């Protein structure tokens, strides 16, 4: 049996780059969904729901495909840390993170549009920041400009220099697509990673 078409339901260049590491052919399709949290919804419930919604939205136009949905939230304590959008907000975020831990939760869904099978999981990952000086923060932001990255950290670039250590089973979860979990889900759908 040939593998079904694999589609990444995301416009993120970082997720696309991660999925390419598996060396399997795939397409991307950006789902247009409302990402507003529901009343009383926890951050973990939010990312799980959004990952599933993204995959199912893409399925509407790709009824025979295997579709990957993913969403990530960063938490500082119990407060969601979003994308800073500008320099001043990024400075504030990094000052707050200095010497502390940020918890990341990545919702991952794999939806088989042909059979209706759905695999879904939330993968945790924690980042411990070094104590950051104002000079370090300014130099980092000027070089990396991570204004579209949650918590002002581009971990696949210079952002790694801000960290003391990581806690988690799947380092790719840090960037927003947990590959170890994804491979397990693909195997459950009999997707052959070595036959293409």
pLDDT tens track for 9-67:
998 888 999 999 999 999 999 999 999 999 999 999 999 999 999 999 999 999 999 99
Total number of domains constituting the chain: 1
Environment class of 178 (CB within 10 Å of its CB; exposed 0-12, middle 13-18, buried 19+):
buried
Task: Please check whether residue 1 lies inside any domain of the structure.
Answer: no
Q: Which of 27, 32, 34, 71 is catalytic?
A: 71
Angle ∠(166,172,174) on CA atoms, nearest 5 = 50
Task: Please check whether residue 92 lies inside any domain of the structure.
Answer: yes
Task: Please check whether residue 108 lies inside any domain of the structure.
Answer: yes
71 catalytic per annotation: yes
Six-digit token string for 151? 């918590």
- Mean residue pLDDT of the chain comes to 94
Cite the DSSP H helix spans in the chain: 13-20, 43-59, 87-97, 134-144, 179-188
Task: Please check whether residue 196 lies inside any domain of the structure.
Answer: no
| Residue 83 confidence class, pLDDT cut points 50, 70, 90 | confident
Q: What span, in angstroms and rounded, lies between the C-alpha atoms of 174 and 95?
A: 20
pLDDT at res. 154 = 84
- Domain holding 37, by residue range, is 6-188
Residue 107 belongs to a domain with what CATH number? 3.90.950.10
pLDDT at res. 196 = 60
Contacts of 3 (CB under 8 A, 6+ apart): 24, 66, 191, 192, 195, 196
Task: Please check whether residue 193 lies inside any domain of the structure.
Answer: no
Q: Can you give the pTM of this predicted structure?
A: 0.90
Task: Determine how many CB atoms are found less than 10 A away from the CB of residue 130.
Answer: 14
Q: What is the mean pLDDT of residues 164-180?
A: 94
Task: Please check whether residue 14 lies inside any domain of the structure.
Answer: yes
Six-digit token string for 11? 């416009």
């Amino acid at each position: 049996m040939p593998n079904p078409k694999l589609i990444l339901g995301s416009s993120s260049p970082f997720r696309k780059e991660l999925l390419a590491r598996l060396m399997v052919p795939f397409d991307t399709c950006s789902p247009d969904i409302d990402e507003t949290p529901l009343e009383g919804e926890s951050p973990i419930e939010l990312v799980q729901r959004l990952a599933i919604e993204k995959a199912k939205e893409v399925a509407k136009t790709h009824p025979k495909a295997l579709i990957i949905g993913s969403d990530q939230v960063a938490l500082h304590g119990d407060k969601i840390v979003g994308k800073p959008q500008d320099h001043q907000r990024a400075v504030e975020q990094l000052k707050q993170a200095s010497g502390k831990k940020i918890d990341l939760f990545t919702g991952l869904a794999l939806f088989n549009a042909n059979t209706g099978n759905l695999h879904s999981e939330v993968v945790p990952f924690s980042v411990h920041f070094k104590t950051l000086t104002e000079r370090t923060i300014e130099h980092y932001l000027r070089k990396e400009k991570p204004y579209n990255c949650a918590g002002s950290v581009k971990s696949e670039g210079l952002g790694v220099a801000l960290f003391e250590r990581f806690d988690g089973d799947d380092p790719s979860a840090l960037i927003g697509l947990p590959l170890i979990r994804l491979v397990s889900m693909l195997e459950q759908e009999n997707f052959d990673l070595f036959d293409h």
